[in-house]
Amino acid sequence: MTADLFDNIDAMVPAREQLAEGAMLLRGFARPQQHELLAAIDAITAQAPFRRMFTPGGHQMSVAMTNCGNLGWVTDRSGYRYDAIDPESGQLWPAMPALFRELAEHAAAEAGFGGFAPDACLINRYEPGAKMSLHQDRDERNMGAPIVSISLGLPAIFLFGGLKRSDKPQRYRLQHGDVVVWGGPARLAFHGVMPLADGEHGLIDRKRINLTFRRAR
Ligand code: SIN
Ligand code: FE2
């Protein structure tokens, strides 16, 4: 093992890891912007607070969500959809900060997807015990664009599988600042998050925040 293979010598984890053809984990990629990201999330959630939505089947999700950008992902009894309006406030979702867009575009380019222009950013908040079952992101009209996912706060076990629900997912421990990008042949890969383990995080107490950028239209 030679030092130049690793950016993060302390943790001895490779700076980038290919999860599948078209899927890349960029370790610590968002860390330099951690403070600006968290401040922007606070400003967004002051306007559009986190809420636990209901699935079409009537189950309340354990993950609390909000959005920024031209479109926000919402779910309720009538189904899943992208909507320009926050149903809680009746107002447009808060604008996507330039920092978010640039970071997502930069991460996508690093993973081989140049020209990513997200129009939707879903913000997920996991408290201890919250989880996300294995699913595909398939509510977007534009499957040519990748998904970019930024993790902040407590570490989580991310499940990344194949194109069939029955494909056994691999497990990755996503830490504060890690970014995962998947697109092309991996765009419809099944993925999910194991129940969040309790813990302390110096910057964000006892939770994990995930930003998921998409081109919805
Ligand atoms: C998602 O699939 O929307 C969230 C993934 C994550 O929280 O890492
Ligand atoms: Fe997803």
Q: How far is the CA of 46 from the centre of ligand 1 (A)?
A: 22
Tokens for 216?
A: 């919805």
Ligand nearest to the CA of 207: 1
Question: Could you give the strand order of the β-sheet that contains 191-193, starting from the edge strand earlier in sequence?
Answer: 132-135, 191-193, 156-160, 170-174
**Confidence at residue 142, expressed as pLDDT on a 0 to 100 scale:** 86
- How far is residue 91's CA from residue 198's CA, in Å, rounded to a whole number? 34
**Confidence at residue 1, expressed as pLDDT on a 0 to 100 scale:** 43
Q: Which helix (H) or strand (E) holds 159?
A: strand 156-160
DSSP state of 90: S
- Return the residue whose CA atom lies nearest to atom 2 of ligand 1: 192
Residue with tokens 């970071």: 103
Full-model pTM: 0.94
Ligand 1: residue of 127, 173, 191 to mutate (most ligand atoms within 8 A of CB) is 191
> Which stretches in the chain have pLDDT values below 70?
1-13
pLDDT (tens digit per residue) in 36-95: 999 999 999 999 999 999 999 999 999 999 999 999 999 999 999 999 999 999 999 999
Q: Any idea where the domains of the chain sit in the sequence?
A: 3-214
**Confidence at residue 10, expressed as pLDDT on a 0 to 100 scale:** 52
Size (the chain), residues: 217
Q: Is 34 left (phi over 0), alpha (psi -120 to 50) or beta?
A: alpha
What are the pocket residues of ligand 1 if the criterion is a CB atom closer than 6 Å to any ligand atom? 122, 124, 132, 149, 158, 191, 193, 210, 212
The residue type found at 4 is D
Ligand nearest to the CA of 159: 1
Q: How far is the CA of 199 from the centre of ligand 2 (A)?
A: 23
> What is the CATH code of the structural domain delimited by 3-214?
2.60.120.590
**Confidence at residue 3, expressed as pLDDT on a 0 to 100 scale:** 44
